[in-house]
Amino acid sequence: MEKVSLEDFGRPFCHQAVWNRRLRTTGGRFHSPSCKLDFNPRILDRYDQDLLVKVIRHELCHYHLYRQGSGYRHGNSQFKELLEAVGGIDYVPDLLDPSERKLYYYRCQGCHELYERERRINPRAMCGHCLGVLVQVEGPEDDLGGS
């Protein structure tokens, strides 16, 4: 961490960086009040050290911009420019094993369009094609009672 900070940013990293096994889909996290950095150990489990360095650069962009009082959030132009300059990445590749992924399936009662989601949806949600009612089904092959 300290080496990447000095080499890529020309500034020291003076706070705490830890592994956080509770992170599931994100590669790292920056805590703005405390300047603490969390990293997902799954990066090393599933990928290599090069990807970890890119994630470290991403989080250090947040860290150093925050410490300077500049725009440190993802949407700020200063963040985007610095991230590109140091060779960080915006998003990590998929970190979940397929066995850990839970999918929810919804089928429209009107046009029978199938929706596959990783999160549950609002029960009042409507179909984007026909504005029909969406009903949760067990899997993609379920056909709402054989219609």
Sheet strands side by side (includes 28-31): 17-19, 36-39, 28-31
Give residues with Cβ within 8 angstroms of 74, minimum separation 6: 80, 90
- 19 near 37, Cβ under 8 Å? no
* Amino acid type, 81: E
Q: Among the options 2, 59, 113, 138, which is catalytic? A: 59
Specify whether 59 is catalytic.
yes
**Which residues belong to the active site?**
59
